[in-house]
Structure 1
Amino acid sequence: MLNLHHLDSFLMLQQTGSFTEAAARLGVGQSTVTQHIQRLEKSLGRQLVFRDTHQVRLTADGEALVGYARGMLDLNGQVLSLFGESRLRGRLRLGVSEDVVANRLTGILEDFIRLHPLVDLELTVALSAVLNQMQDAGDLDLVLAKRHVGDTHGKLLYREPLVWLARDPHFAPARDAVLPLIAFPPPSITRRVVQEALDREKFAWRVVCTCGSLSGLTAAARAGMGVMVQPRSMVPEGLREIAGDRLPRLEDVEFVLIPRRGADAVMVEALSSLIAARIVPQSI
């Protein structure tokens, strides 16, 4: 009989591609994840993972196991929710910042619905400032968003730098040229940080593309329309951090969780705890 803890470690390893990061997200030691994988391979009599100094990849047998492992853990979560004394049920309205959705949300949602299949999750994706406004109006129970360094609203998860990105990492604008900027529309926190930094250093700039979707901004940057800014751990594929000090240094941003007063405290805490355990990037 397969051990569900071993399967959980296996799926987290498949999701992160790193023993170190899988262990961090599960809240266990790296040696524990290694032992879980070894015991799972022994139970099945198959090698599931290729390991070398550069990367971790699943074997063909490992890839075949992924769907079955998810199914077993999903079924276990459903049984526990149906028959457990503290099962959660109801509706939870979650608001998430656009850039988080594109990078880390999938694994968190997979874990949450597996653990709490009777909770109906209503997801809203928007700019951080818009999410805060919606929550103030009573439309969201929990918000995962960015804030300026120095703000006190919300529970701090982590802080990280914003970086300049372009298709060409050696992009070097002339000091007297107008910088082509790709940005979220107002009231974007990132946009405000960028514009204040450029104005402070007397850089001329103009917004050549604005879009409320990160995928749209990324497409424009990949096409070479200009530069954009993202948290360092959330750099979209196909873009590179601009090297050196060719552009002004940007302030850090902080990622926070904000529960709504009056929301179901047990459901909010269940999701908040999962997010806090899984979302911090390995490099932070």
Structure 2
Amino acid sequence: MASYPSIDAELLRSFVAIADHGGFTRAAEAVNRTQSAVSMQMKRLEEDVLQRSLFERDGRQVKLTPEGQVLLGYARRILKLHGEVLTTLREPHMVGSVRIGTPDDYVMRFLPGILSRFAQSYPLVQVEVHCEPSYLLLQRRDLDLSIVTREPGTEIGQLLRRERFVWAEAPGFYTHEQRPIPLAMFNTDCFCRAWACNALDGLDIAYRVAYTSPSLSALLAVVGAGLAVSAQLQSIVPPELRLLGQAEGMPELPLASIMLLRSERNRSQASETLAEHIIEGFRL
């Protein structure tokens, strides 16, 4: 079997810094080394380890050769795996499970990024996601964390963000001009449904609740087909739908509060750390 020299992770880290910062001087600052030390590292990487030229100089700028571009992709992957190994082995206490409850509303919009970042840092923690409406989540006592939507003045827990409800329909259908307006809304226990109906009543606009479901994806599918108008939090309305406002004769809807609830009985380091990721994720 052929024997090849190994590549030190510190060499790759300096190499990636040069590629990201476009030069040796700024890269040296990023990796907390002198410029001469970084230059020696790259000389070793090019001449002793890979025996390939990795850089082209264009004035003060440094560009990667084709071989350097190939190495850059591998280097990023190697350093990512290197970090994951260290995190996994140095944080053995971060194991176990966290049970989180959330309405269907936030699953596609917020959770993928939150859970992806959490899994990268704490791959041994198992996360159970329970999707239920807010009013049901408030009744549960077996969850470590819950994300719920609350009316102003009824907030409990920690505020993640305040956001306005908006009207949405499929572009090109002008469903809002029908009388009565067909609505696609969550089931009757959702206060946002009451908000939508009360707002239309206030302008004496005829409507009918034509479609109901506990599933956001089902409601958005109905709206996307041009069959109904819906009222949802602005951040979870897909960009392919058209927002409606006063210019279209639709009433303005109130702001809602998205809150994070922590269990008083089931707190753990894993649940508190995931809570921090959730707080950060809702700021994005």
Q: TM-score with structure 2 length normalisation? A: 0.69
Matched, 1:77 2:84: yes
Question: Aligned partners of 1:71 and 1:211: how far apart in 2?
Answer: 46
Question: Aligned partners of 2:174 and 2:89: how far apart in 1?
Answer: 56
Residue 118 of structure 1 corresponds to 124
Residue 31 of structure 1 corresponds to none
Gaps of 5+ in 1: 11-34, 37-41, 47-60
Cα offset, 1:71, TM superposition: 7.7
Report the identity percentage. Answer: 29
Residue 218 of structure 2 corresponds to 216
The answer to whether the 8 Å contact 2:175/2:227 transfers is no
Query: Cα gap change, 1:143/1:274 in structure 2, threshold over 3 Å: closer, same or farther?
Result: same
Aligned partner (choices 261, 278, 281) of residue 258 of structure 1: 261
The answer to whether the 8 Å contact 2:175/2:182 transfers is no
Cα offset, 1:186, TM superposition: 2.8
Question: Aligned partners of 1:229 and 1:269: how far apart in 2?
Answer: 33
Residue 5 of structure 2 corresponds to none
Could you give the per-residue CA deviations for residues 134-183 of structure 1, whole angstroms, max 9, x where no partner exists? 2xxx22110112111121212101111111000137837459x2111011
The answer to whether the 8 Å contact 1:78/1:115 transfers is no
Cα offset, 1:219, TM superposition: 1.0
Question: Aligned partners of 2:115 and 2:270: how far apart in 1?
Answer: 14
The answer to whether the 8 Å contact 2:163/2:256 transfers is yes
- Alpha-carbon RMSD: 3.4
Residue 160 of structure 2 corresponds to 157
Counterpart AA for 1:110: S
SS in 1 for 2:112: helix
Q: Which moved more, 1:109-118 or 1:238-247?
A: 238-247
Residue 100 of structure 2 corresponds to 94
Question: Aligned partners of 1:277 and 1:170: how far apart in 2?
Answer: 37
The answer to whether the 8 Å contact 2:155/2:259 transfers is no
Query: Cα gap change, 1:222/1:263 in structure 2, threshold over 3 Å: closer, same or farther?
Result: same
Question: Aligned partners of 2:77 and 2:207: how far apart in 1?
Answer: 48
Residue 52 of structure 1 corresponds to none
Alignment of 1:172-187 (within 5 A): 173=176, 177-187=179-189
SS in 2 for 1:103: coil
Residue 206 of structure 2 corresponds to 204
Q: TM-score with structure 1 length normalisation? A: 0.69
SS in 2 for 1:225: coil
Kindly tell me the number of residue pairs found equivalent between the two proteins.
228
Alignment of 1:39-50 (within 5 A): none
Question: Aligned partners of 2:177 and 2:87: how far apart in 1?
Answer: 61
Counterpart AA for 2:117: D
Matched, 1:145 2:148: yes
Question: Aligned partners of 1:68 and 1:132: how far apart in 2?
Answer: 47
Larger radius of gyration: 2
Gaps of 5+ in 2: 1-8, 21-29, 32-41, 46-53, 57-68
SS in 1 for 2:120: helix
Residue 30 of structure 1 corresponds to none
Question: Aligned partners of 2:104 and 2:75: how far apart in 1?
Answer: 31
SS in 2 for 1:185: coil
Question: Aligned partners of 1:260 and 1:74: how far apart in 2?
Answer: 34
